[in-house]
Chain A
Amino acid sequence: MSTASHATNDATARRGKAPAGERVADWADGRLGIYSLAKANMRKIFPDHWSFMLGEVALYSFMIIILTGVYLTLFFHPSMQDVTYSGPYVPLQGIRMSEAYASTMNISFEVRGGLLIRQIHHWAAIVFIAAMLVHMMRVFFTGAFRKPREINWLFGFLLLVLGMFTGFTGYSLPDDLLSGTGVRFMEGAILSMPIVGTYLSMFLFGGEFPGHDFVARFYTIHILLLPGIMAGLLVAHLILVFYHKHTQFPGAGRTEKNVVGMPLLPVYMAKAGGFFFLVFGVIAAMAALASINPIWEYGPYRPDQVSTGAQPDWYMGFSEGLIRAMPGWEINFLGHTLQLGVFLPLMIFPLVLAAIAVYPFIESWVTGDTREHHILDRPRNHPVRTGVGTAWIAWYMVLLLGGGNDIVATHFHLSINAVTWFVRIGFFVLPLLTFIATKRICLGLQRRDKDKVLHGRETGVIKRLPHGEFIEVHEPLSQEKLYTLTQHEQPKPIEVGPEVDENGVQRKIGTMTKVRAKLSQGFYGEGSQIPKPTAEEHVEITSGHGHH
């Protein structure tokens, strides 16, 4: 289009009415102030990295869960009324069951698309919590939880915990034999609490287990209370991401003061929108291909029946592992029976989760770092943090293994007792070993980086010199690469300070200060980081003395 005709068009438009879209936008701006909002946010820059999209996977699965969940509520009856099954699934015809179970059977066998939607809902839940955990690990290992993002870290953590419990209450709703066993498990854990246990159980179940109330109560918790809180937290989480701006990996041109990437509109809108459909597609494909929670195979719940291989969904698996690994200790305390075999795991359960949640605060206390951070760490440059993270994963994994000890035993032809003992010992030993191994690997990688900076990349090209010596040709790194490998700062450990002050009087040094200095030494002391190459070293080595 030539400039001249463009001008005429503009002129005619000005003379006539503005286009419809513009008028609608004007109308909305007059009432909502969208122009200033859009101006501020549409050009917001987001950095590009696949690991930044893990949170998006969680977000989109959550949306899919809400969408499919709404459909399921149209057909599910949260009632424990006794009914006799007369649907199309032959092996259950004539069996008495709760209305909740019967309506889930109805969804699975008679409602159009019901089974597919149910399976999408359940698979999305599995993926949702897995994605949250992986997203959390990404944030952890890159140090994205540091100031100013500590509160957002806690929001995310709360979302994970709430997600677990929303999942658990949802898994319990169909009132099938498997989930009923899970609810019974939970009731047992509540009962093991001294003094308050029985009261709490009676309150929750409206009388003796299972009673007639828990499905309706769990239903309210599952579809209203917990998702409501989660939606609120999620919005807050996203607002904070906008407010803080996204972190970015170190690289040439990236500083603590800028964000290098693509604008939200149009690039990220298109990418994120497309990614939503990709996530939906993957989950729909999973649901269409693979069966999940086939409640008709388990049968309706009856307290006198139980099936082996009864596990919760994976995100509750570590609590199952805690119970399975714990010896069945029982003591009598002043005439009261304390069921430690259940009570101790119940107490360790929140500790496992809290251990990872409080780490950012411990780290900021130990390092005394109060600056803002927007450039991410490479995990190798913080061996202690990376070690703590992998140790926690090992801890979690060994408990997960314990939760499936029977499946492990039958499928690897092992004794279930041996698997349980492995979990018991591994609970204490594996995190330690993992920590040590990870720290060593990180230090090794730091050494490798140092080598690469000073001596360049090994090319694999062998050259023979005139006097017969063979050398490998090393290719010097590009300036960008050198920057990426050496941009990180290496903090100095905090010192307690001199024993005596300037007047020779003994200083008072609190125990906490000493502990902090010790920990700081562990974080950044000699054994915890390899001094990065300095510019002088680099110049000296690359200035031509020697041939590599």
Chain B
Amino acid sequence: MKKLSARRRHPLAALVVLFCALAATGGLYAAFAPAEKAQADSSQSLAIEEGKRLYAVGCATCHALNGQGTSVGPSLIGVGSAAVDFQVGTGRMPAQQPGAQIPRKKRIYSQTQIDQIAAYIASLGPGPSIPTKDQYSPDGADIANGGQLFRTNCAQCHNASGKGGALSNGKFAPTLDGIPPKYIYEAMLTGPQNMPSFPDSVMPPKEKKDIVAYLNKIDTSSSPSEGGLELGGLGPVSEGLFGWIFGLGAMIAVAVWVAARTTKARKS
């Protein structure tokens, strides 16, 4: 004890005390906090229960406690589970900050949690539900018809090859390159953010499947680019830049090289 009291004025004493106090608080919390319930419960009501809990933590700030919406977040009653799966699955929700448009980012919930939140939101009112795999899988779809539909309905914002485009005031239609078929299907179904929705009454499921199959076919990550480097697939703007910088740049470099190499005048 004498040793301890002798060191109580040591410069590090305060730090040691602080550390002990923190460890004690944390340890006590861990010991007394309610243990998490087992996640793997197949019962629908349990999923809704869990979803509600997750919702209260991650979503209620903007969308209000019962999903009725606030001035910063729209009402979620009747948006259906497909909307939740799209928004949370692509990382758009929960939003980081308000802005012209909420961008896609790394998603923070696991698929199980997303399903739970989706179950809770679906319980608030009827809406489009998450499509099944055979609804959006490209197998057996008419790719050419999908392309025709895409150019008619989607290309004016997303570009003919799905590379995205600008909308007014900083909003934009994102690129569709590398987006899993499920999310493309859900986006058409629910019309997230600035996108119009294409419910089954407007565009039958077969046509959505065709569009998804077309996009899957032309996706740059899976299909070859026949002409060589894609240059972003942005058309004449990037082609012009490439032509000026690399084409004309190379020409000038070559011209300088040729002009620098000249025969020396010989006195004869």
A contacts, CB < 8 Å to B: 48-54, 56-57, 90-95, 108-109, 115, 119, 123, 126-127, 130-131, 134, 177-178, 262, 267, 271, 274-275, 278-279, 282-283, 286-294, 296-299, 302, 304-314, 317, 403-407, 409-410, 413-418
Contact = CB atoms under 8 A, between A and B. Distances in A.
B254 A313 contact: no
Interface stretch (B108-116, B129-137, B231-239): B231-239
14 contacts: A53-B258, A90-B217, A91-B146, A108-B226, A115-B226, A286-B250, A289-B228, A294-B230, A294-B233, A299-B151, A413-B170, A416-B167, A417-B168, A418-B170
Interface string B143-168: 11111100110011111110111111
A286 B246 contact: yes
Secondary structure of the B contact surface, majority rule: helix
Nearest to A57: B251
B268 to A, nearest CB: 13
B229 A314 contact: no
Given A48-B259, A291-B227, A297 B166 contact: no
Contact of A313 (B227, B239, B255): B239
Given A177-B160, A262-B263, 9 more contacts: A91-B146, A93-B143, A127-B251, A289-B229, A294-B230, A307-B155, A404-B237, A406-B165, A407-B234
A294 B144 contact: no
A406 B246 contact: no
Nearest to A308: B165
Which one of A53, A119, A407 has the greatest number of beta carbons of chain B within 10 Å? A407
Secondary structure of the A contact surface, majority rule: helix
Given A48-B259, A299-B151, A314-B243, A308 B159 contact: yes
A415 B236 contact: no
Nearest to B156: A306
A184 B156 CA distance: 15
Contacts of B233: 294, 297
Contact of A271 (B163, B172, B241, B258): B258
Nearest to B215: A91
Interface residues of B, number: 62
Contact of A126 (B173, B235, B240, B255): B240
Which one of A312, A314, A317 has the greatest number of beta carbons of chain B within 10 Å? A314
A250 to B, nearest CB: 17
B159 A309 contact: yes
Contact of B158 (A296, A297, A308, A406): A308
A297 B161 contact: yes
B259 A49 contact: yes
A264 to B, nearest CB: 13
B33 interface: no
A282 B239 contact: no
B230 A291 contact: yes
A50 B234 contact: no
Contact of A304 (B147, B152, B166): B152
Nearest to B231: A290
A299 to B, nearest CB: 5
A262 B262 CA distance: 9
Contacts of B246: 286, 290
A406 B166 contact: yes
Closest CB pairs A-B (n = 9): A291-B227, A314-B240, A308-B165, A126-B243, A307-B160, A415-B170, A406-B166, A50-B259, A53-B255
Contacts of A94: 144-145
Nearest to B174: A410
B166 A123 contact: no
A416 B227 contact: no
A290 B165 contact: no
A305 B240 contact: no
A289 to B, nearest CB: 5
A283 B167 CA distance: 35
Contacts of A57: 248, 251, 255
B167 A291 contact: no
Contacts of B172: 409-410
Which one of B145, B163, B236, B263 has the greatest number of beta carbons of chain A within 10 Å? B236
Contacts of B167: 416
A91 B227 contact: no
A308 B147 contact: no
Given A275-B254, A292-B227, A299 B100 contact: no
A313 B235 CA distance: 8
B252 A50 contact: yes
Given A50-B256, A91-B214, A409-B166, A130 B262 contact: no
A91 B151 CA distance: 12
B30 interface: no
A122 to B, nearest CB: 8
Contacts of B169: 415-417
Nearest to A266: B263
Contacts of A305: 151-152, 155
Contacts of A307: 151, 155-156, 159-160
B247 interface: yes
B231 A291 contact: yes
Contact of A314 (B159, B164, B244): B244
Nearest to B213: A91
B161 A298 contact: yes
B225 A313 contact: no
B71 to A, nearest CB: 22
Contacts of A417: 168-170
Contacts of B4: none
A292 B239 contact: yes
Contact of B239 (A48, A109, A134, A293): A293
B228 A297 contact: no
Nearest to A94: B144
Nearest to A287: B228
Contacts of B148: 95, 299
Which one of A262, A279, A307 has the greatest number of beta carbons of chain B within 10 Å? A307
B156 A308 contact: yes
Contacts of A91: 143-144, 146-147, 214, 217-218
Interface string B21-33: 0000000000000
A404 B234 CA distance: 10
Contact of A127 (B160, B225, B243): B243
A127 B248 contact: yes
A288 B228 contact: yes
B104 to A, nearest CB: 13
B236 A410 contact: no
B237 to A, nearest CB: 4
B234 to A, nearest CB: 6
A176 B224 CA distance: 20
B227 A282 contact: no
B159 A290 contact: no
B237 A407 contact: yes
A44 to B, nearest CB: 16
B254 A278 contact: yes
